[in-house]
Structure 1
Amino acid sequence: MPPPNIVELTELPHELLMQIINPLDDESICALAKTCRHLHFFALPLFLSRHGVRTLPPNCVSITCPSKKALSVLWASLFMENIKKIQFHTIDEDADRLLSDICSLRRLFARLPSFCSLPLIYSTHGFIENSALHNPAFDMRKWSAELSALLDTAIQKSCQSLYIFGTDDVSTSCSSRPDPQEQLATKVGKVLPGKASRKLFSFFSRAKIPPDPPRTQLNDFIIASSMLLQTQFFRWTLSTLQANAATVTQLKFNKAIANSSTWHQLLSTLALPLLFSFELIADGQLVEGKNVDLRDVEVFLTRHPSILILNISGIPIPDLVPQFQNPILPRLCYIEAHPKFIAWLLHYHLAHFQTLKVVTITTESSDFGYNKYDEALEAISLSYVNIAQLSLNFVSNNGHEWMQKHISSSMTPLRSIITHLSRITSLTIQTNYWMMLDDRDDPMVQLLPQFLALFSSLEKVNFNQQLCATQRANLKGCKDIFKKILSACPRVKTILINSAVIDLAFLEV
């Protein structure tokens, strides 16, 4: 028994304990983590952080370009039992790790009782295809099968949110070599009895632990990868959505490229009764044969009256747009889309959007003609919908010409369309970080007070995507423009920058 005045290592303050452990090498830290539960939870995260693995509150582990040893140590760690979110960033420019990391992740998933979220991020576009082309040993078919099995394992573990990002393209040529594991299983089965065969084969099997029975709880499926819409994965993607149709509430396709026939099959087949949020942001490259057909979008939206939030972008809209044959989206509350798409919806369905409150008009390129906004604004002004919040997106600095046009027309008998938007009380102006409110020489900043004054009922203005910080000391340069806005718009009581409320009293505005 140690003397009473001797302090044990685990009783030291955490700051002092960290100074003792931090200089140790990896092997010593791993050995220390095996001595007791307290040091396991204290020392092991230090080793893992050195190798691309961080534990984040609450119950999240972020894995970024990890070493093989780190994945092995993570599998054996005690705190993995409580992990609910796993975020994995793959290693770039290492084809040898593509397959082995997927296998290690699947082994890790199999150990967990359950988890709720999996963001899987391939950061280099086209890297998978390059690996297949330049590395003869890379087996595309095997990798595709392992990745599909990994995602299936995640869903079986009650994963509620899948987010797949990157790998825009996957080589269409798969290796025709026979699967070595299948060959091994055949040979072993012929030589050994069943029990011995299963025991030996378990060392090489893809599934180290028998899979749990399927538990369909997938709620959010976010696809920011063209890979899942291409030949190797499309069948898996479609069947997974169909198998989880009763639980999926959020579906997003973010800049995923696919053939028009693929989009047609996907949008015309799916039926998700609880879907409340749908996003389809096409790549914006209007290439023949790779566009999303507006008619397919119409079919999908008509089949999903449960949608509350809709974000549509990058879809070619013909000059003669089709009219809807049936009522559509009766519960829609928020829409973010190209002005022509918004006009299309509102012009033909004035009576079917009584819950719509927020409209965000987007642009799709730096050479966008802002006169296209007028079509959407006119549809809003003519509708009977009580839209209270409007957001305008300016991706380039030529928007001041459009602003000036409306300011000038407001002084004529015809007046500006904007003056008819009497129900708009909240306006957000997004400027993609190119405009600074304290830049007095910027023509758009100079026009802001007069432009905002066109909105007769405006009470709140939010300047989003601003570079300036919202701390009081950093806003002194904005004091002049704030004064002019409040003078031109007497009903405005709240100004925000990047959604943070500005203390106008402190600025003496």
Structure 2
Amino acid sequence: MPLLSLPNELLVAIFENPQFPPHFLCILALSCRRLHFLALPIYFARKGMPLPSKSAIITLQEDERDMLAALNMALFLTSMEDMTLIFPHPSCVSIYPLLPHLRRVRRFISRFSALGRITLQLDTQTSVCNLVGDDGALRAWSCALCDLLNAVVERCTDLTVEYGYFTRSYILVARTPKGIRRIVKALRKLIKPRDPFSGASWEFRRSPEQGRASVHRTIRASSARNLTALHIQSGALVLPPCLAWTLSLFSSNSITTLSICNISLERRLWNPVLTLIAKAAPSLTNVTLSGLEYITDVEILGFCARIPRLTTLEIGLNEETRGFPTNCAKGPFPQFNHLEHLKAPANFILYLLRPQPCFPKLQSLSVWFHGPRDIRTIAARLVAIGDAMQARRISPLLSVSVLLLFNDLHLDLDAMVKLPHEYKKALGLVGGLDLVVWPSTVAQVASWINMFPSAKQITISTRFEVDMEMLFRELAKNISAPRTASINGTIRTLECIT
């Protein structure tokens, strides 16, 4: 009996049978329109992608026999809300194997008129290979990457670029003395436009050992009218030549949210890079800096001070030297006249609370604890923060963000009994908790949370199997007022039970 003579219901039952080879579904999808709309959705579902228009994670393969090929043939796919594209590591000696993948993805992206959130994983997470060096390779790679990025930003609203450094083809050098510099500057103005990669005492120059071409001069971002959020987690976008693309992207003035996370640069590079970004993007309102290595408190605060319209600022765990967090002891005091939401380590918050007055519009203040996070240390910092808030007559919603391990919970519950009254009073100031919890019992987690009696907004992410119903019940016991709790994304409004 011919396959097409069967009714759709029977065809679906056949295609969904685990014994039916998945690659046959792709072959059938190319045979005719009817089988295309029957077989291909089943293929996606069997590959863990039941609704590709909603969410798709695509791992590119060297032989191009991957989900991108299947998605590219889907006639019914007209939009995608959330897409992650994972590129293979090209090699440790050449960038050229990566270029066909960049072009494939660009062609796929170009078929859509509008997209939602896009994540590009350009390389493996641990790779620090510098594959691009000579002029030819640098020009080919930067053009292919920026063509892809331009296709993305013309269509999406939220872009994340992760991993990959690829090149150290530019070096940072000190500028010439002032008198000589004026003469050189005047001469340069006559023969070529001003280089965007320069400051008062420094400039990026092409590494003479790798080539002479100023590739960055030919790179420019497309207009990104719909793009509002840019998340940079790749060194490639904060170093020349692709830094030129990043800087020009902000000229559209549509981007209000910027996060720079999980990047390691040489110590002396952060100040020039952040100076250029702040100059290009003064209209940012939401900024996150986290997971940055070899960055100082002066550089972090200097960057924030150059962005006058900030309404939301998050400073995560950064490292001044490997293994040692960036602690705030010096630096400028940004005005923060518009700041409404601040999340930062306790030492940053205490430093920023020194000026008086400060934070005239602050609505929420989240204290992020890393390193020593026992309940006594947390309470001591909250006492100091509470005193500073009272002295400056500000009363934002105070919350605590902390990673909890089993030993932390056990020791904290024992220590709570011996805490001074002043410390317990400080715990009562906390209105919100944001917790990442590793293996613990439900009773211990609930007991630890209940040390903060005024916490009305609780967010919990667990790293173990948890009985959510039991935890919700424990969190609702003997509370004085309703509280909202979220456990691994499940949200409940809890009323008191006895």
Q: Name the TM-score, length of structure 1 as normaliser.
A: 0.69
Return the structure number with greater strand share. Answer: 2
Task: Give the 3-state SS of the residue equivalent to 2:314 in structure 1.
Answer: strand
On the 8 A contact 2:379/2:426 being kept in 1, the answer is no
CA RMSD of aligned residues (A): 4.5
Corresponding residue for 1:356?
A: 363
Corresponding residue for 1:408?
A: 418
CA deviation profile, 1:298-356 (whole Å, cap 9, x unmatched): 443452324234344316556743462x63142413x2211100111223254424432
Corresponding residue for 1:256?
A: 263
Task: Give the 3-state SS of the residue equivalent to 2:225 in structure 1.
Answer: coil
Q: What runs of 5+ residues in structure 1 fail to find an aligned partner?
A: 1-5, 180-210
Corresponding residue for 2:345?
A: 338
Change in 2 beyond 3 A, CA 1:233/1:462: closer
CA distance in 2, matches of 1:247, 1:497: 32
Task: Give the 3-state SS of the residue equivalent to 1:159 in structure 2.
Answer: coil
Corresponding residue for 2:175?
A: none
Task: Give the 3-state SS of the residue equivalent to 1:125 in structure 2.
Answer: coil
What percent of counterpart residues are identical? 15
Match of 2:160 among 138, 160, 163: 163
Q: Name the TM-score, length of structure 2 as normaliser.
A: 0.70
Task: Give the 3-state SS of the residue equivalent to 2:88 in structure 1.
Answer: coil
Amino acid in the other structure paired with 2:20: P
On the 8 A contact 2:305/2:332 being kept in 1, the answer is no
CA distance in 2, matches of 1:250, 1:34: 42
Match of 1:382 among 388, 401, 405: 388
CA distance in 1, matches of 2:464, 2:275: 42
Corresponding residue for 2:438?
A: 433
Corresponding residue for 2:118?
A: 118
**Which of these two proteins has the greater Rg computed from alpha carbons?**
1
On the 8 A contact 1:84/1:114 being kept in 2, the answer is no
Corresponding residue for 1:200?
A: none
CA deviation profile, 1:204-260 (whole Å, cap 9, x unmatched): xxxxxxx997443321111122232234432322232x333x111211111112244
On the 8 A contact 1:407/1:416 being kept in 2, the answer is no
CA distance in 2, matches of 1:113, 1:447: 49
Task: Give the 3-state SS of the residue equivalent to 1:148 in structure 2.
Answer: helix
Q: What runs of 5+ residues in structure 2 fail to find an aligned partner?
A: 170-206, 214-219, 321-325
On the 8 A contact 1:121/1:166 being kept in 2, the answer is yes
CA deviation profile, 1:342-400 (whole Å, cap 9, x unmatched): 1112232544244322423231x478996376345422343122233412414553577
Q: Verify: 1:294 aligned to 2:298, yes or no.
A: yes
Corresponding residue for 1:305?
A: 309
Task: Give the 3-state SS of the residue equivalent to 1:348 in structure 2.
Answer: coil
TM-fit CA distance, 1:44: 2.8
Q: Verify: 1:227 aligned to 2:224, yes or no.
A: no
Corresponding residue for 2:104?
A: 104
What pairs up with 1:24-423 in 2 under 5 angstroms?
A: 26=23, 29-46=25-42, 54=49, 56=51, 58-66=53-61, 67-70=63-66, 71-72=68-69, 74-92=71-89, 97-122=97-122, 124-127=124-127, 129=129, 139=137, 142-155=140-153, 157-167=154-164, 169-172=165-168, 214-240=223-249, 242-244=250-252, 246-269=253-276, 270=278, 272=281, 274-283=283-292, 285=293, 290-301=294-305, 303-314=307-318, 320-322=329-331, 324=333, 327-333=335-341, 335-363=342-370, 365=371, 371=377, 374-383=380-389, 384-396=393-405, 397-398=407-408, 407-410=417-420, 415-420=421-426, 423=429
Task: Give the 3-state SS of the residue equivalent to 1:278 in structure 2.
Answer: strand
CA deviation profile, 1:137-174 (whole Å, cap 9, x unmatched): x946533431122112212x32221111222x434369
CA deviation profile, 1:256-282 (whole Å, cap 9, x unmatched): 122444432343342545533211003
Return the structure number with greater helix share. Answer: 1
CA deviation profile, 1:158-194 (whole Å, cap 9, x unmatched): 2221111222x43436997999xxxxxxxxxxxxxxx
